[in-house]
Structure 1
Amino acid sequence: MAGFGFHTLALLVVIGMVGPLLTAVPRLAIPVIIGELVAGMLVGRTGFDVVDTTDPTFKLLADIGFALVMFVVGTHVPVRDSTLRAGVGKAALRAVAVGVVAAVLGVAMAYVFGTGHALLYAVLMASSSAAVALPIIDALKLNGPPVLSVKAQIAIADAACIVALPLAIAPGRALQAALGALAIAVCTVAIFFVLRHFEHNGTRKKVREYSKRHELALELRLSLILLFALSALALRTHVSVMLAGFALGLVVNGIGEPKRLARQLLGITEGFFGPLFFVWLGASLQVRELGEHPEFIGLGVALGIGAVIAHGTGRLLGQPLPLAALSAAQLGVPVAAATLGTEEGLLSPGEPAALILGALITITVTSVAGSVARRRQPAAAQ
């Protein structure tokens, strides 16, 4: 398609509607993002190639979408829940156990498939996705101490693997990535204390009331300023914008996210930037390479099954098996790995698509595990 203009934006929004349309069919039970990824594949490099994913404007909008998606994910992690914090110890222990098993499986897979990406595969299989698992838990109304504990485990794994990914995907840049992650962490902590100060002295409340009275959306504007500044720092230090978005989301959630801001963020993210990012990602993937390199189909399946096995070790530590399987959900980390690998040529042809295939398998398992956990939940707790 020649040029990037409003005609392209209109097309992308139409393409993004495939996700909600498929979700509206109850028997299919397809997550929205899966429909958006598949639609992107059809119009991108895998399919009819009608959109140019290398266009700077398209890529910038996709990066904004990725940062916003992870920002929203961070705001959904229940960091203020005292019951959840009480179960952090056991959750961390399970996350470490999962990481150990994932490391062993990662070494085996790198050897079998000859890629040399053992550390990357370990991080992928050890990761969890708050963006996938927490909405499923909330939609199914799962509750009780074991559920709160698995929420803590998912948050720990998600945060740890987001930080570890830049180190894992490019070990040669480990020092640079570590410094970049440290810079993001320092800035995030500073933002937290500044926002908490304004919360305690009443400034934030005054700004919120003034903004609401004059319909200025000041909190949204300030959030976007912080998000874009952190994202610029992330790109400058060669760290994924995923880390910037997720960290800021945790900060806003830790201070207390106003409902009005939550609705505004959800509107611009789910209504435009989020779908655009997933369409861009699907369009960027060259799934045909899996046909040319069929061994990577096996890698994708192995990564998906390996993640389920690794998280299944939670059963040995007393965790119900459905909740252990539910914690295996992957999204942000594999997506970031595929994005970075595609942009910088760090992965072999077909390997990015294999990472996404593995993530899709875990999402399928998570959907089934959530339904099983719902059926096993005592009626009094529902």
Structure 2
Amino acid sequence: MDFATLTVISLAALLGPLLALPQHWQMPVVVGELTAGVVLGPSAVGYLRPGDGTFAFLADIGFALVMFVAGSHVPVRDPGMRAGLRIGILRTLLVAGLAVPVALGIAALFDTGHAALYTVLLASSSAALILPVIDSLRLKGTPVLELLPQVALSDTACIVALPLVIEPQQAGRAALGALAVTGCAAVCFVILRHFDRTGNRRRLHRLSQNRKWALELRISLTIVFALAAVAVRTHVSIMLAGFCFGLVVAAIGEPRRLARQLFAVTEGFFSPLFFLWLGASLDLTQLGRHPSFILLGLLLGTAAIAVHATMRLTGQPAPFATLCAAQLGVPVAAATLGSQLHILKPGEAAALMLAALVTIVAAGIAGSLAARTAPTPPPGTQE
């Protein structure tokens, strides 16, 4: 990788905002970034090489930061979210239960033997996608407060479960690795909460702000990278490391200055680079050589939407139920780990990402519908 490649990546990353610009489309930015990666990758032009060590490492940093930002956006301190926790847990369990027979049927139909993996995929929700959609569309009300715990629980549970099902023979090692990462995150929470309660964090914040040192950002990145190192050493996806520390930051309270800095670093460079790398990693020519996996991807994506949509029976509005089906981090990790471990059939990794794209498109449409049907505040009232 060189500066010319970085220039192309930065230029191609603009496709995401360009596609998301028309407000009536409600298109998630990542769709354009993934598309640019597919076009520039081996599937078409062949300019971007996802196997390049520097490119892949920068993408890993982006993946960890995307999940960190997603976790930090979970409003764990919001009393309204705690009020919706019960229904969120119920819907999470119901979706997981419904996903089992559907996954068994799909795995049997395509003879892949990956029913457990498909169950995790069908039950997952992506906080990294759903929370920004909610924020950008300014969705509010009881359905949102009930949706947030559901998304957080589903995402966290599936992140933990993925390494256990994708490599069952190493389930014990994966479980210990997940415990190690979450344990380290818990220690960070205790230390940072004490630091906050003693007033030291406030003093550090003032010092950093006055001297322009960005100390909070430096410390946060240090902890994220340390947890990612633990995850790599214990053979756990770095998505767990980023998401866990994001939850820690959300539980303590993220300073607005740190939030802006993280947004700039992540959304300005590392996040689009990651999604471009991801798009370039999708060898869609494999789907052409194995057309049955096109059907697998479409079926998995449709099944994920259908499983989540059944929560309409519990009183969840249909657009919000469909929005919960949006997947990203778990399919990415499944495709990456499965390819690295050589347990996926040729074309199956691309099928998993095709399924994720189906749910992303559906989530964009659902978010638009939710915004259009949201009640308008009475005149003279503030949101």
Q: Same fold (TM over 0.5)?
A: yes
**Which one-letter code corresponds to 1:63 in the other structure?**
D
Q: What do the CA deviations read for 1:74-114 (whole angstroms, capped 9, x no partner)?
A: 01111111111121111101100000111111111110011
- 3-state SS, counterpart of residue 305 of structure 1: helix
Q: Map of 1:171-190 to 2, 5 A cutoff? A: 171-190=168-187
Q: What do the CA deviations read for 1:122-167 (whole angstroms, capped 9, x no partner)?
A: 1011011112222222222222222200111111111111111111
Tell me how far apart the structure 2 counterparts of residues 342 and 174 of structure 1 sit (CA, whole Å): 18
Tell me how far apart the structure 2 counterparts of residues 235 and 143 of structure 1 sit (CA, whole Å): 38
**Which one-letter code corresponds to 2:11 in the other structure?**
V
User: 2:159 aligns to what?
Assistant: 162
Tell me how far apart the structure 2 counterparts of residues 294 and 327 of structure 1 sit (CA, whole Å): 28
User: 1:213 aligns to what?
Assistant: 210
Structure 2: unaligned runs, 5 residues or longer: none
**Which one-letter code corresponds to 2:280 in the other structure?**
A
Q: Map of 1:69-88 to 2, 5 A cutoff? A: 69-88=66-85
Tell me how far apart the structure 1 counterparts of residues 244 and 95 of structure 2 sit (CA, whole Å): 23
> Normalising by structure 2, what TM-score?
0.96
How far the C-alpha of 1:309 sits from its partner, in A, is 1.2
Q: Are 1:139 and 2:136 matched, yes or no?
A: yes
Structure 1: unaligned runs, 5 residues or longer: none
> Normalising by structure 1, what TM-score?
0.96
User: 2:363 aligns to what?
Assistant: 366
User: 1:96 aligns to what?
Assistant: 93
How far the C-alpha of 1:12 sits from its partner, in A, is 1.6
User: 2:61 aligns to what?
Assistant: 64
Q: Map of 1:169-318 to 2, 5 A cutoff? A: 169-318=166-315
How far the C-alpha of 1:169 sits from its partner, in A, is 1.6
How far the C-alpha of 1:170 sits from its partner, in A, is 1.5
Q: Alignment RMSD, CA only?
A: 1.4
Please identify, of 37-46 and 264-273, the stretch whose mean Cα deviation from structure 2 is larger.
Answer: 37-46
CA 1:28–1:371 in 2, change beyond 3 Å: closer, same or farther? Answer: closer
- Contact 1:22 1:30 (8 Å CA) reproduced: yes
- 3-state SS, counterpart of residue 380 of structure 1: coil
User: 1:49 aligns to what?
Assistant: 46
- Contact 1:184 1:233 (8 Å CA) reproduced: yes
Tell me how far apart the structure 2 counterparts of residues 379 and 36 of structure 1 sit (CA, whole Å): 33
Q: What do the CA deviations read for 1:331-362 (whole angstroms, capped 9, x no partner)?
A: 11111212222333231111111111111111
- Contact 1:97 1:313 (8 Å CA) reproduced: no
How far the C-alpha of 1:28 sits from its partner, in A, is 4.8
How far the C-alpha of 1:26 sits from its partner, in A, is 4.3
**Which one-letter code corresponds to 2:83 in the other structure?**
A
Match of 1:13 among 10, 22, 42: 10
How far the C-alpha of 1:329 sits from its partner, in A, is 1.1
Match of 1:30 among 27, 30, 35: 27
Tell me how far apart the structure 2 counterparts of residues 47 and 355 of structure 1 sit (CA, whole Å): 19
**Which one-letter code corresponds to 1:30 in the other structure?**
M
Q: What do the CA deviations read for 1:262-321 (whole angstroms, capped 9, x no partner)?
A: 111111111111111111111111111111111111111111111111112212222222
Please identify, of 9-18 and 276-285, the stretch whose mean Cα deviation from structure 2 is larger.
Answer: 9-18
Tell me how far apart the structure 2 counterparts of residues 319 and 169 of structure 1 sit (CA, whole Å): 31
Q: Are 1:351 and 2:353 matched, yes or no?
A: no
**Which one-letter code corresponds to 1:357 in the other structure?**
L
Tell me how far apart the structure 2 counterparts of residues 342 and 274 of structure 1 sit (CA, whole Å): 22
- Contact 2:67 2:246 (8 Å CA) reproduced: yes
Tell me how far apart the structure 2 counterparts of residues 212 and 58 of structure 1 sit (CA, whole Å): 33
User: 1:332 aligns to what?
Assistant: 329
**Which one-letter code corresponds to 2:352 in the other structure?**
L
**Which one-letter code corresponds to 2:211 in the other structure?**
H
- Paired positions, count: 379
Please identify, of 67-76 and 20-29, the stretch whose mean Cα deviation from structure 2 is larger.
Answer: 20-29
User: 2:121 aligns to what?
Assistant: 124
Tell me how far apart the structure 2 counterparts of residues 40 and 380 of structure 1 sit (CA, whole Å): 41
Tell me how far apart the structure 2 counterparts of residues 354 and 277 of structure 1 sit (CA, whole Å): 19
Q: What do the CA deviations read for 1:213-232 (whole angstroms, capped 9, x no partner)?
A: 11000000000110110001
Q: Are 1:377 and 2:374 matched, yes or no?
A: yes
Tell me how far apart the structure 2 counterparts of residues 226 and 155 of structure 1 sit (CA, whole Å): 21
Tell me how far apart the structure 2 counterparts of residues 226 and 278 of structure 1 sit (CA, whole Å): 23
Q: What do the CA deviations read for 1:45-96 (whole angstroms, capped 9, x no partner)?
A: 2112222211211111110000000000001111111111121111101100
- Contact 1:289 1:349 (8 Å CA) reproduced: yes
- Contact 1:281 1:339 (8 Å CA) reproduced: no
Q: Which runs of 4+ in 1 moved over 6 A?
A: none
Q: What do the CA deviations read for 1:241-262 (whole angstroms, capped 9, x no partner)?
A: 1000000000011100001111
Tell me how far apart the structure 2 counterparts of residues 36 and 147 of structure 1 sit (CA, whole Å): 27
